[in-house]
Amino acid sequence: MGKVYYVSKNIGLGLLVLVISALVTIIALSIAYDKERAKNQGQPGHRASDGSSTSPPFTTPFTPKEPWDYYRLPKSLIPESYQVTLWPQLQPNADGMYVFTGYSSVIFRCVKETDLIIIHSKKLNFTTVLGNHIILMGLGGVTPPAIRRTWLVERTEYLVVQLRWKLTVGASYKLHSKFTGELADDLQGFYRSEYTDNGVKKVLATSQMQATFARKAFPCFDEPAMKATFNVTLIHDRGTVALSNSKEKDYSDTVKDGVPVRVTTFEPTKTMSTYLLAFLVSEFISIQSSQNHLLIRIWAQRKAIADGQGEYALNVTGPILQFYGKYYNVSYPLSKSDQVALPDFNSGAMENWGLVMYRETGLLYDPTLSSTGNKERIVTIISHELAHMWFGNLVTLQWWNDLWLNEGFASYVEYLGADYAEPTWNMKDYILLYDMQRAFAVDALASSHPLSRKEEEVNEPSEINEMFNTISYSKGAAVLRMLSEFLTEPVFAKGISSYLNTFAFNNTVYEDLWNHLQKVVDKTPGLHVPYSVHEIMNRWTLQMGFPVVTIDTQTGTVSQKHFLLDPSSVVERPSPFNYTWFIPIKWMKNGLDQQQYWLLKKTDVHSSMRVSGEGWVLANTNVSGYFRVNYDANNWARLLSLLNTDHKALPVMNRAQIIDDAFNLARAQIISTTLALKTTKYLSKERDYIPWQSALKNLGYYILMFERTEVYGPLQAYLKKQIKPLFEYFKTITSDWTKVPAGHSDQYNQIDAIGIACGVGVEGCRELIQGWYKQWMENPNQNPIHPNLKSTVYCKAIAFGGAEEWDFAWRMFENASLASEASKLRSAMACTKIPWLLNRYLEYTLDPAKIRKQDATSTIQYIAGNVIGLPLAWNFVRERWSYISQQYGRGLFAFHNLVNGITMRFSTEFELQELKEFKEHHHAGFGSATLAMEQAIEKTTANIKWVTENKAEVLKWFTEETT
């Protein structure tokens, strides 16, 4: 019962068939959708021929029967090269629609007998307009089979060409087609983005192919292993510039359909995957530099480039490329590197080979207006995408089930590249906050899943999209870092290099990487690894979760256990390794680094971990392993006392992780809540950012749970007591907030200090903030607020203020000429405490003229983060769910974040009920947010339990600490 729409029928039905020569067969496609649809026996899930969804989703399970019913391409045809010509129209047509026209041909080889050509195609119209044809040619004198009929399969996104007889194995053919598509503002495939320049509306055409949208630009074998070369031609208005993956070869000016146009052709690309293709036609301008004959350019709106906003990106790109060239021991594979800032972009950035696309906030930096945080985001995101130019682009995983290796790898090495570009920032430490702790949080749930999936488990686009999640990115990064740590970085890098050299321009599976690392291990004398890379890594990638390692320093006993946030939750997923891991443990005793110890069983005795008297043990030095640590009570007590007397004796990452481990062990009822709270007592002396941030995140959980209860008063009082010294410290070193501390992380800590202090009512804070904002309102051209403090100050000032403050922010938002400035205002406007302002703002989020589509879900999420906004946002999302999911559900993490944002405070039976009801009412499922919904239900259940069991103890502790 495939949802098959015939767009042409056999010759007998009288459709246009032309045989031009013995070697060429042409069939014109008709758009006889309606007639043919009747023959499809009323399939569920009908879509109109323009592709818009008009009907309920599938409810009955679908059993594939025909080759075109399967989401995976048959293995009979292998593409070799494409000729693709695209002509985007940047003015609407007579119907007010933006469209593009395309001509493409693909040369493919037949490797298995078949009479079918199945090729991806999505929302492309092969219409009856004169000259729109599907042509099959045989190459090298081969006679092509005549075409019997062609049709489109909407469910699996195919164009199917059925032949009268079989293709010859070993022969090559060329399939030519002409088509049109909509140049929609849907942020996927070949799409349109708009902005204004000096009050003039500008339209540009750009692309986003990952994971399955190349097929929306032209018919192609749209799977990552179907690598080919691409000869791209773009037809565009003469005043615009056309870019693609490779360098421009030449251009000519001509007139097409009465329109004067420029035809730009590009050099053939290297052998590459379709998801890495990119096209851009715009009036953007660029700045450039060159490094060993490599052309590096940064592109953006004219005004942004003229204002110098591309300089920082340009300055760091050269060094980062140089770093990876050395690290991988492979030079940059292409002859140019373009990076573009787009006004509308769904994810943060996309690693198209040679033409990387970013959101404006990911690439554009203004030294006088942007914050340190903006700068850090730019250097790390560039570093991430450029890492992919080799790992992912030159060598590509065969299928999306191994996505974790691609994204996890880039998410790990991005810190190395960023560290090289900004050596004073200690970027490598930040992986703890940005990736490891995030991964620990979701991977401790019973609803988690292993990093690695089987190829057969990932088929449909929504299943592919679901792979882009915290586990793939952050756990992937964490386990690869652990691997690099226990192999040592030089060995790891050598293995990577060997892998890249061997598989250049090809595809791999994750085992290929383990094999190449193993080869280097085998050749490295003196390196002790207890099992093969394969055996060790399987335990981290094929079973979900991670262990908590418990060290008893009285006896030297070391043991491991699967860490679950809710110990009563049932893990339904059996593990091939029984939830045990091979664990590399770096550790310290009494301040001295010890030899790495491998825990290879459930329980072991390592007698050198025994200590007495004042002695202490710290395990997981620099948190190089992906696991939590627990100790016997004595060692905990000694670590706590060390924190209070000489906290710098412990590495900064461990100070942060002790807090995170303790809070989570307490939530899992492994240690007492009081012990966890005690790890925050030393903070009054802590001046480093990472431990503070770790503590604030964990205390943040307490705020989420108790903000609406009587615990909140004493909790605030405690926070106030702890933060005050930090606030005073920064007040002094910044000469009353007139300067900014020099260190990168000090700047972050200053922001936290002000933010928390004002939140809990430290004297002088509110006045300070309101004063600054008022000054700005009085003179909008003179913003006195330091860029680092803007997010906090805007948020607090709007929270303290009323409609006047809000409306001023909205005006500044509309006029902002720097994307990151707009972004700070956009999140700050969610801070108001006034319900009608919040409701009005919610309405704005679904109006693309007010809030760009790319920003809708994150704005709703900000509103849900406000204790007053939460119920409003929850109602809003439930009411509009089908619209939101249809229009806005495509961003990377967009839905995942939205579900998380809304449910993070949920901690009552009533809220749990509401959540479950919501889930049940949406039979359509939640697409890429399915896992997020599961996690939300599990977390809410755990929150309810935790609040019930801990409220009294928490109240007592905070009260005692503050009176």
Q: Give me the residues that bind ligand BES (CB under 6 A), please.
A: 210-211, 347-351, 380-381, 384-385, 388, 407, 410-411, 468, 892
Q: What is the DSSP string of 722-736?
A: HHHHHHHHHHHHTTT
Cα–Cα distance between 412 and 483 in angstroms, integer? Answer: 11
Residue 348's binding partner out of ligand BES, Zn ion, none, with CB under 5 to 8 Å set by partner kind: ligand BES
**212 in Cβ contact with 276 (< 8 Å):** no
**What does 296 bind: ligand BES, Zn ion, none (CB cut-off 5 to 8 Å by kind)?**
none
What is the arrangement of strands in the sheet containing 617-619, beginning at the earlier edge strand? 592-593, 587-589, 617-619
Of 384 and 826, CB closest to Zn ion: 384
Closest by Cα among 198, 193, 232, 378 to 298: 378
Q: Quick check: 726 and 751 in contact, CB under 8 A? A: no
Nearest-approach distance from CB 414 to Zn ion, in angstroms = 8
388 annotated to a ligand binding site: yes
Of 136 and 410, the one with the shorter C-beta distance to Zn ion is 410
Residue 493 CA to residue 388 CA, distance in Å, equals 15
Q: How many CA atoms lie within 13 A of 75 on its CB side?
A: 1
Q: How far apart are CA 138 and CA 147, in angstroms?
A: 13
Least spacing, CB of residue 328 vs ligand BES, in Å: 17
| In 133-247, alpha helices (H) | none
Rounded CA gap, 344 and 132, in Å?
A: 31
Q: How far is CA 210 from CA 17, 207, 490, in A?
A: 36, 9, 32
Q: What are phi and psi of 177, to 5 degrees?
A: -150, 160
892 binds, among ligand BES, Zn ion, none (CB under 5 to 8 A by kind): ligand BES
Nearest residue to Zn ion, by Cβ distance, number only:
410
Residue among 209 and 740 whose Cβ is closer to Zn ion? 209
CB of 461 to ligand BES, least distance (A): 11
- Between vectors from CA 351 to CA 350 and to CA 355, what angle results, nearest 5°? 100
CB 367 within 8 A of CB 307: no
Query: How far is Cα 14 from Cα 426, in angstroms, rounded to an integer?
Result: 71
Please name the residues in contact with 317: beta carbons below 8 A apart, sequence gap of 6 or more.
296, 298, 337, 339, 382, 386
Q: Is 176 annotated as a binding residue?
A: no
Q: Quote the least distance from Cβ 468 to ligand BES, whole Å.
A: 4
350: partner contacted, choices Zn ion, ligand BES, none (Cβ within 5-8 A by kind):
ligand BES
Rounded Cα–Cα distance for residues 664 and 566 (Å): 10
Residue holding tokens 């089908």?
Answer: 882
Q: How far is the CB of 473 from Zn ion (least distance, A)?
A: 8
Structure tokens at 99: 């469209």
DSSP3 helix / strand / coil % (the chain, rounded to 5): 45, 20, 35
Q: Of 182, 223, 385, 422, which is the active-site residue?
A: 385
- In the complex, what is the shortest distance from the CB of residue 297 to Zn ion, in angstroms, rounded to a whole number? 21
Of 30 and 207, which CB lies nearer to ligand BES in the complex structure?
207
Nearer to ligand BES by Cβ, of 388 and 852: the residue is: 388
Least Å distance, CB 77 to ligand BES, is: 26
User: Does residue 614 have an active-site annotation?
Assistant: no
Distance between terminal CA atoms of the chain? 71
Strands 547-552 and 507-508: unpaired
Tokens standing for residue 392: 């992912």
- If we measure between CA atoms, which residue out of 159, 68, 173 comes closest to residue 111? 173
Q: 189 or 547: whose CB is closer to ligand BES?
A: 189
Q: Which two tokens stand for residue 346?
A: 């769904």
Residues 6+ apart with CB under 8 A from 821: 369, 370, 790, 812
Closest to Zn ion by CB, 381 vs 797, is: 381
Angle 93-99-102 from CA coordinates, rounded to 5°: 130
Give the phi and the psi of residue 554 in degrees, each rounded to 5. Answer: -80, -40
The alpha carbons of the chain give a radius of gyration, in whole angstroms, of 29
If the CB atoms of residues 499 and 718 are measured against Zn ion, the closer one turns out to be: 499
Query: Taking a C-beta distance cutoff of 8 angstroms, is the pair 610, 555 a contact?
Result: yes
CA distances from 708 to 446, 827, 908 (A): 28, 22, 11
CB of 359 to ligand BES, least distance (A): 8
Q: What's the CA gap between 121 and 102, in Å, rounded?
A: 12
Question: Least separation, in Å, of the C-beta of 782 and ligand BES?
Answer: 34
CA dihedral 594, 600, 602, 608 (to 10 degrees): -20
Least CB distance to ligand BES at residue 473 (A)? 6
Q: Which residue has the tokens 């880039």?
A: 410
Locate 926 and state its tokens. Answer: 């939640």
Contact 334, 266 (CB under 8 A): no
For tokens 């070799």, name the residue. Answer: 80
Q: Which does 210 bind (CB under 5 to 8 A by kind): Zn ion, ligand BES, none?
A: ligand BES
Token pair 């905990």 is found at 636
Binding site for Zn ion (CB under 5 A): 407, 410
Residue 879 marked as a ligand binder: no
- Between residues 342 and 381, which has the closer beta carbon with respect to ligand BES? 381
Binding at 305: pick from Zn ion, ligand BES, none (beta carbon under 5-8 Å per type): none
Measured from the CB atom, the residue of 476 and 759 that comes closer to Zn ion is: 476
Which is nearer to Zn ion, 395 or 799 (by Cβ)? Answer: 395
User: Which helix (H) or strand (E) is 953 found in, with range?
Assistant: helix 930-962
Angle at 90 between CA 85 and CA 93, to 5 degrees: 100
| Strand, coil or helix: 338 | strand
Q: How far is the CB of 416 from ligand BES (least distance, A)?
A: 14
Q: Which residues are annotated as a binding site?
A: 384, 388, 407
Q: Which residues are annotated as a binding site for Zn(2+)?
A: 384, 388, 407
Q: Which residues are catalytic?
A: 385
